[in-house]
Amino acid sequence: MINTDICIVGAGPGGALLSLLLAKKGVTVTLLEQHHDIAKEFRGEHLNEEGEKVLKKHGLYSKIEKLGLLKMEVIEYWENGKLFKTVQPEKKDGHLGIHVPQAHLLSVLIDEAKKYPSFTLMTNTKVIDLIKDKHGHFSGIKARRKGKELTITSSFIIGADGRYSTIRKKAGIETTVVKHGYDLLWARIPSPKNWKPSIKMAQIDGYQLSLFTQAKGFIQIGWNINEGSFSEIRKQSFEVFIEKLIQAFPDLEENVRKHITSWNDFVLLDVHSNRTNQWIKDNILLIGDACHTMTPTGAFGLNSSLKDADALAQCIEPGTIKDLDLNNCVQQRKKEVQKLQELQIEKEKNFVTQFVILD
Ligand SMILES: Cc1cc2nc3c(=O)[nH]c(=O)nc-3n(C[C@H](O)[C@H](O)[C@H](O)COP(=O)(O)OP(=O)(O)OC[C@H]3O[C@@H](n4cnc5c(N)ncnc54)[C@H](O)[C@@H]3O)c2cc1C
């Protein structure tokens, strides 16, 4: 039996940053993560200017930079192998987004948090239920760790446990899932030498894909497929896909053939977003994907989780945990997130109009 002021479930970007910021203030916080390796979940890794600002504000950016990140120098639009439009960064920004390997981001957040005695991290700890006290208030969580069940009591519980949030479900908080008509297949290959750090949006014979250069010499390829179509697509040869890719980007041929050798080299992202009106219930708060999963468009997901953590940390002080009122704080974030979710739908509708048919 463990007791803590605040129990945060999920050591993704949102949960890890919030834990650090609270521990720094002297709040006793216990962070629970189901995996042994905190960087195990596959996530979005593109930082936009908002996420960058949050990390800089807390003196974390330079520490992550030391471990390695990559600034995007150009966005390119390609139609059937021909480049027809480029977007250059504004001089004041110097880049168009930053690739930050999640292991670098999370290890800096966790290592910083470990400097504070009020922080405890428990990995290998999967939360399976919420517990209530005799007055019906949520008073803690039940988790499974190394085959044993354990109970953690806590004055406040924060669900930062991602898109399929157990805390959201167990608290009985309703969410509306919005499908966007497509799913994504991700694959990763080493990048050829001299490949400029870039985001490439491409249409190839009606297929839509995006290529993101990554730190440490990789390219992440995202392939839009019709919603729910992967099981049918898998019955065909994956070669059709890679031939299209090679046709449009011949420089990639060697690495594509070497590193994409079956459908198993693709990871499927079931694309959806969700809207959750209630972020707070009793002494439970949801942040990040747990209350506002986003689609990958615009790389808002990761950045919104960091912003939630930053905003919420400002509203929580040691000594106030038992009577926390986070409503104002949450209302502001809700408005910002709602705007982004509307913007995503707009951007997705307009994706095709970015392309002109070339002679
Ligand atoms: C395959 C994939 C690709 C993506 N691509 C992009 C992209 O290109 N751009 C973009 O902006 N966003 C992308 N996203 C979304 C982005 O990764 C998320 O918005 C962001 O990671 C949300 O951060 P979070 O901290 O809220 O939740 P998460 O990063 O999901 O972290 C939640 C954490 O909670 C842990 N957890 C879950 N359940 C439990 C439990 N019961 N007990 C204990 N721990 C638990 C998980 O292991 C995880 O570590 C992608 C997501 C996925 C899954």
Q: Where are the chain's structural domains?
A: 2-42+102-178+272-350, 46-100+181-270
pLDDT of residue 352: 57
Cβ–ligand 1 distance for 324 under 6 Å, the answer no
Distances (CA, A) of 120 to 29, 161, 264, 310: 6, 17, 37, 19
Cα-based torsion angle of the residue sequence 112, 114, 116, 121 in order, rounded to the nearest 10 degrees? 130
3-state secondary structure of 211: strand
Return d(Cα 93, Cα 50) in angstroms, integer: 12
Distance 8 CA to ligand 1 centre (A): 14
* Superfamily of structural domain 46-100+181-270: D-Amino Acid Oxidase, subunit A, domain 2 (3.30.9.10)
- 285 residue type, one letter: L
Cβ–ligand 1 distance for 51 under 6 Å, the answer no
Cβ–ligand 1 distance for 126 under 6 Å, the answer yes
Q: Using one digit for the tens of pLDDT, what is the confidence trace for 305-359?
A: 999 999 999 999 998 887 788 999 999 999 999 999 999 988 887 765 554 443 3
Residue 181 pLDDT class (50, 70, 90 cuts): confident
The answer to whether 2-42+102-178+272-350 and 46-100+181-270 have equal CATH topology is no
Q: What ligand 1 atom has the least distance to the C-alpha of 43?
A: 17
Cβ–ligand 1 distance for 269 under 6 Å, the answer yes
Residues belonging to the chain: 359
Ligand 1, atom 29, residue with closest C-alpha:
12
CA angle 3, 5, 10 (to 5 degrees): 90
Look up residue 93 and give its DSSP letter. Answer: T
The H-or-E segment that residue 180 falls in is none
Distance 162 CA to ligand 1 centre (A): 5
Residue 93 pLDDT class (50, 70, 90 cuts): confident
Q: What's the whole-number average pLDDT of the chain?
A: 92
Tokens 């985001």 — which residue?
199
Return d(Cα 327, Cα 323) in angstroms, integer: 12
Strands 272-275 and 138-145: unpaired
Ligand 1, atom 11, residue with closest C-alpha:
299
The residue to mutate among 98, 128, 274, 302, having the most atoms of ligand 1 within 8 angstroms of its beta carbon, is 302
Return d(Cα 248, Cα 262) in angstroms, integer: 20
Ligand 1, atom 12, residue with closest C-alpha:
44
pLDDT of residue 357: 40
Ligand 1, atom 13, residue with closest C-alpha:
44
Distance 41 CA to ligand 1 centre (A): 7
Provide the angle, in degrees to the nearest 10, between the axes of the packed helices 300-314 and 49-57.
40
Distance 207 CA to ligand 1 centre (A): 26
Q: Which residue has the higher pLDDT, 308 or 209?
A: 308
How far is C-alpha 284 from the geometric centre of its chain's CA atoms?
Answer: 21
The average pLDDT across 132-142 equals 95
Q: Are 309 and 216 in contact (CB under 8 A)?
A: no
Ranges of H-type helices in the chain: 13-25, 49-57, 61-67, 102-113, 166-170, 230-233, 239-248, 253-259, 289-292, 300-314, 327-350
pLDDT of residue 231: 93
Q: Using one digit for the tens of pLDDT, what is the confidence trace for 238-283?
A: 898 899 899 999 999 999 999 999 999 999 988 899 999 999 999 9
The average pLDDT across 105-120 equals 97
Look up residue 161 and give its DSSP letter. Answer: -
Return d(Cα 54, Cα 52) in angstroms, integer: 5
Distance 289 CA to ligand 1 centre (A): 7
pLDDT of residue 358: 36
pLDDT of residue 224: 87
Query: What is the percent of the chain with per-residue pLDDT over 90, rounded to a whole number?
Result: 79
Return d(Cα 29, Cα 17) in angstroms, integer: 12
Look up residue 136 and give its DSSP letter. Answer: S
Cβ–ligand 1 distance for 44 under 6 Å, the answer yes
- pLDDT at residue 49 greater than cutoff 80: yes
Residue 206 pLDDT class (50, 70, 90 cuts): confident
Return d(Cα 208, Cα 201) in angstroms, integer: 8
Q: Which of 41-45, 203-207, 269-273 is most confident?
A: 269-273
CATH class label, 2-42+102-178+272-350: alpha beta
pTM comes to 0.94
- pLDDT at residue 150 greater than cutoff 60: yes
Quick one: tokens of 117?
């005695």
Residue 12 pLDDT class (50, 70, 90 cuts): very high
Strands 198-204 and 74-79: parallel
The residue to mutate among 121, 161, 184, 284, having the most atoms of ligand 1 within 8 angstroms of its beta carbon, is 161
Q: Are 14 and 287 in contact (CB under 8 A)?
A: yes
Cβ–ligand 1 distance for 42 under 6 Å, the answer yes
Ligand 1, atom 5, residue with closest C-alpha:
44
Strands 119-122 and 29-32: parallel
